Structure 1
């Protein structure tokens, strides 16, 4: 019989799924999908009517014609209004995610880190490199040689 020291495929898969980044990604996708509905409602219910005071309520109606005439299916039409609507949705989604999730979480993590440092009572540790140590040794040797020469 051959003994298996390696974890089974199922155990490896379970470990992979339980990593924090996979769970965080799954939560982000679910929250992103929920925000999509909210943002689309804001764009359709608030932004489009505000734009409608100047033109039409539906941003998809804004377009430009590249050919001499755009009647029916003839001509080349650029639908820049739908791009504008999608861009507004993206910017609003980004702002909501940043201000309601990212910013508070980063502030919270900074406070937790500050408390941890205060509890440990540690200050910034200065790292000494090998080059710094070698320079100190060199300076000490030069100082000793100067003393030896001066005493003789």
Structure 2
């Protein structure tokens, strides 16, 4: 096949070999592992702290929406409607902790690094411009000196 019309397999291979896809795959794997760490922190630290004020299982917090609410011995709802706000609270806490850890351990350091890198590049660019300006000034001075020497040499 020609370069203008690659085969399906060649196109797929080119797609997979792009850096973005590899970076995304690594991010997904690390994110899955990171989720396990965050869930452990929520279950091992946050839930017991919340349990100091009630129960250690956030999922057990619920309110009866439509009375009368009744649960049998196996935990199944037999009548009424429960709002399981403990599950929502658990998910929100997990999300907030995950977002905070990602921000403080990944986003913030990377932003600071990129800012330092940009400032360094800006400084190097300014130094390069200053050096070029100084070089141009020196070349003009040499040119003016040569013109003056030529002019005084032609008059003799």
TM-score above 0.5, yes or no? yes
| 1:106 and 2:111 are equivalent in the alignment | yes
Deviations 1:60-115, CA, capped at 9 Å, x for gaps: 11000011211122110000001100110011111111111111112112222222
TM-superposed deviation, 1:23: 2.2
- Cα-to-partner distance string for 1:16-56 (whole Å, 9 max, x where unaligned): 22323322222221121111111111111111111111111
Q: SS of 1:55's equivalent?
A: coil
State the partner residue of 2:143.
none
Gaps of 5+ in 1: 124-152
Q: CA deviation at 1:15?
A: 2.2
Runs of 4+ in structure 1 over 6 Å off: none
Superposed, 1:84-95 pairs within 5 Å as: 84-95=89-100
Equivalents in 1 of 2:27, 2:101: separation in Å?
A: 13
Q: Counterpart of 1:13?
A: 12
Report the aligned-residue RMSD: 1.8
The equivalent residue for 2:122 is 117
After superposition, where does 1:1-152 map in structure 2 within 5 Å?
4-6=2-4, 7-72=6-71, 73-121=78-126
Q: Whose strand proportion is higher, 1 or 2?
A: 2
Q: Which runs of 5+ in 2 are unaligned?
A: 72-77, 130-156
1:69 to 1:93, Cα distance in 2 relative to 1, 3 A:
same
Structure possessing the higher radius of gyration over alpha carbons: 2
Label 1:21 to 1:5 Cα distance change in 2 as closer, same or farther (>3 A): closer
Instruction: Give 3-state SS (helix, strand or coil) of 1:74's partner.
Output: strand
